[in-house]
């Protein structure tokens, strides 16, 4: 299913459905395609919103997790979303964490999957290795439990990024920013109900990272999915959607009772 990418000022985004906003933040090599199954399922229950994060468009000074958080803040203010269910994968989870720490008043719940913010493995010491397609293919496959998930289309997208000198500089800046921006001492301030969905075979943010998030975020619950890597919403979308839907339904029921 194709969705119209809307433009408002400098913001490009999709917005599908009605109800409370379910805002989805993609990761460092992420794109709209990462959330296809999630959008199709939840657009019948929520207003699903996916802003296109300007990973390669910010000036180098603001090419950081903090810079992306400010962009998300301005986007949400411009759209005046309230009672947001904020979903973040990988770097997008890190941005979501920063946002809820800075602007908790607009967020109703937080959902993290494969999030950075505590610890993450990079693409290796030799990354990014330009011009070596097979190397990029192998590194992309490591995102998933099933290497077949790294389709030619996906590998081509990553290959195109790492063969642009300017994009490589931005990728390195964002990756270094994520490593420097450790949120361990701040996470106990998050009061929103938080769902953690993690692949048991995630090699980028391994399972111990999820357990640490669960320990540090007071009102959080953790689900592991077997035979799944760093992007559960892509690799096992039905199970991911089931877990998320159950979590959101329970929130709605609790609110109704209250």
Q: How, if at all, do strands 194-199 and 107-113 pair?
A: parallel
| pLDDT given for residue 228 in this prediction | 98
Residue 201 is given by DSSP the state: T
* pLDDT exceeds 70 at position 127: no
* pLDDT exceeds 50 at position 251: yes
* pLDDT exceeds 70 at position 28: yes
Place of tokens 């599908």: 16
| pLDDT given for residue 129 in this prediction | 59
**Alpha-carbon torsion angle 35, 139, 65, 14, nearest 10:** -20
Phi-psi region of 125 (alpha: psi -120 to 50; beta: other; left: phi over 0): alpha
**Vertex 126: Cα angle to 122 and 127 (nearest 5):** 50
CATH class name, domain 6-120+182-257: alpha beta
Other beta carbons within 10 Å of 61: 8
* pLDDT exceeds 60 at position 123: no
| pLDDT given for residue 48 in this prediction | 98
| pLDDT given for residue 254 in this prediction | 80
**Alpha-carbon torsion angle 6, 7, 12, 15, nearest 10:** -30
230 touches 154 (CB < 8 A): no
* pLDDT exceeds 70 at position 125: no
| pLDDT given for residue 32 in this prediction | 76
**Over the stretch 152-207, which tens digit does the pLDDT of each residue have?**
999 998 888 888 888 889 988 998 999 999 999 999 999 999 999 999 999 999 99
**Vertex 11: Cα angle to 46 and 74 (nearest 5):** 80
Show Cβ contacts of residue 21 under 8 Å, excluding neighbours closer than 6 positions: 46, 47, 48, 49, 81, 82, 83, 84, 85
Q: Helix or strand or coil: residue 15?
A: strand
* pLDDT exceeds 60 at position 151: yes
**Over the stretch 80-117, which tens digit does the pLDDT of each residue have?**
999 999 999 999 999 999 999 999 999 999 999 999 99
Residue 147 is given by DSSP the state: G
């Amino acid at each position: 299913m194709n969705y119209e990418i809307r433009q408002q000022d400098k913001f490009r985004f999709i917005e599908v459905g009605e109800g409370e906003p379910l805002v989805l933040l993609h990761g460092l090599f992420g794109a709209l395609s990462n959330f296809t199954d999630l959008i199709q399922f939840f657009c019948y229950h929520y207003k699903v919103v996916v802003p296109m994060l300007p990973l390669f468009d910010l000036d180098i000074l603001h090419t950081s997790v903090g810079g992306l958080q400010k962009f998300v803040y301005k986007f949400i203010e411009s759209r005046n979303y309230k009672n947001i269910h904020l979903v973040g994968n990988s770097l997008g989870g890190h941005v979501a964490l920063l946002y809820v720490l800075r602007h908790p008043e607009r967020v109703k719940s937080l959902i993290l999957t494969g999030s950075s913010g505590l610890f993450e493995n990079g693409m290796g010491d030799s990354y990014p290795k330009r011009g070596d397609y097979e190397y990029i293919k192998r590194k992309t496959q490591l995102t998933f439990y099933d290497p077949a998930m790294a389709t030619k289309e996906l590998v081509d997208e990553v290959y195109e990024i790492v063969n642009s000198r300017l994009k490589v500089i931005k990728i390195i800046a964002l990756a270094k920013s994520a490593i420097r921006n450790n949120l361990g001492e701040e996470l106990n301030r998050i009061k929103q109900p938080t769902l953690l969905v993690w692949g048991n075979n995630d090699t980028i943010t391994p399972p111990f990272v999820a357990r640490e998030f669960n320990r540090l975020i007071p009102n959080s619950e953790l689900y592991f999915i077997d035979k799944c890597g760093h992007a559960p919403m892509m690799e096992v979308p039905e199970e991911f959607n089931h877990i998320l839907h159950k979590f959101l339904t329970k929130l709605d029921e609790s609110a109704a009772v209250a």
